[in-house]
A and B are shown apart, each in its own frame.
Chain A
Amino acid sequence: MVENSPAPLPERAIYGFVLFLGSQFGFMLYLVWAYVPESWLFSVGLTYWPQKYWAVALPVYLLVTLGIGYILLFGINMMSTAPLNSMHTITDNFAKSQQQKKSQEEAIPALRDIPISEVNQMFFLADKGICNRN
């Protein structure tokens, strides 16, 4: 699919402008509903509005949801971290089912997931000179 680039296109310009007009209109409508007294609105003929209580309540609900959302996201992250005794810290399905290719002479070995025992031996049992090269 070649059409997934974020480049500006004429259709996207029209979408953007429609969104801009719509959001400005929505904001003006919200201000009119919140500030203009009910008697004025009734005299014009617009009688079927929600209670003005919601003009204050909805933004408060939104901000509280935002605040709780930060804490909730942090908590969800902590809960989905694998515990220390879980198998997911060692391996996963892709590593278990990887194919073992035979290593050829004089060729770069194929990319593979090295088991943790070998990694440990390389890091901690090999001579210290190799590890301190960096």
Chain B
Amino acid sequence: MEEGVYRAVSGGRIALQRRQYSASCREFSVRCPRLQLRSLSAATCSVWLAAYGLFVLSQNSMVLSAAIFITLIGLIVYLHFVKIDQESLLVIGSLGIQMTSSYASGKENTTFIEMSQVKDVVINEAIYMQKVIYYLCILLQDPREPHGVSEVVPLFQSSKPRLDCLVEVYRSCQEILEQRKT
């Protein structure tokens, strides 16, 4: 098992863990940057200051209790639905590719793609929010056309590793994908 520290597109640190289970089975896990204490306190302070301002204007103390509830419920919703802790990619040469995202609250989302549907795993570049980023994606085979691509499935969407990390994962995946042709 190998581990490396890389950078995400946004600049935060991410960690890539590579495990080889057998000759045709590998797993890559990318751990996203943790929730920062300073952004959490900044958000909480701004919400509470706004609520205090409203309280001073309206003299209604329900505003303060509502702000506390909103902060708590907002934090829980964020941790459960938005904040992804770890994204992993499991490539099994003869079977398929499985993508798992685990959220900060413990929830896990899994997607499996059969190997017959996978045409290739490539590094694509596209425009994303006034930047051009590299991202790894799975090209799905078009059943009607042998050389056509029916769909593009982007990988590592929340951690967004930079090119050096992506090249490592790409080379590893290509070693496995080459085996299925022989």
Contacts and interface: CB of A to CB of B under 8 A. Distances in A.
Judge: A and B partners, yes or no: yes
Interface of A: 78, 81-82, 84-87, 89-91, 96, 115-117, 120-121, 123-125
A86 B148 CA distance: 14
Nearest to B123: A120
Given A117-B122, A124-B171, A87 B149 contact: yes
Max chain B Cβ within 10 angstroms of own Cβ: one of A84, A115, A117: A84
Interface string B118-147: 011011111111000001010100000001
A34 B139 CA distance: 65
Nearest to A121: B174
A131 to B, nearest CB: 11
B174 A89 contact: no
Contacts of B120: 116-117, 120
Given A87-B152, A90-B149, A96-B148, A125 B174 contact: yes
Contact of A84 (B119, B122, B135, B149): B135
B12 interface: no
Given A81-B127, A84-B157, A89 B152 contact: yes
A124 B134 CA distance: 13
Contacts of A117: 119-120, 122, 139
Interface in B149-163: 149, 151-154, 157
A9 B80 CA distance: 69
Contacts of A86: 152
A87 to B, nearest CB: 6
B170 interface: yes
A90 B151 contact: no
A105 B85 CA distance: 54
B107 to A, nearest CB: 22
Q: Which of B148, B152, B167 has the largest number of chain A CB atoms within 10 A?
A: B152
Contacts of B129: 78
A91 B174 CA distance: 21
15 contacts: A84-B126, A84-B135, A84-B137, A84-B152, A84-B154, A85-B154, A86-B152, A89-B124, A89-B125, A89-B126, A90-B124, A120-B120, A124-B167, A124-B170, A125-B171
Contacts of A87: 149, 151-152
B128 A116 contact: no
B152 A90 contact: yes
A89 B137 CA distance: 11
A124 to B, nearest CB: 5
Q: Shortest 8 CB-CB distances between A and B: which pairs?
A: A89-B126, A84-B154, A120-B122, A117-B120, A85-B152, A116-B122, A81-B127, A124-B167
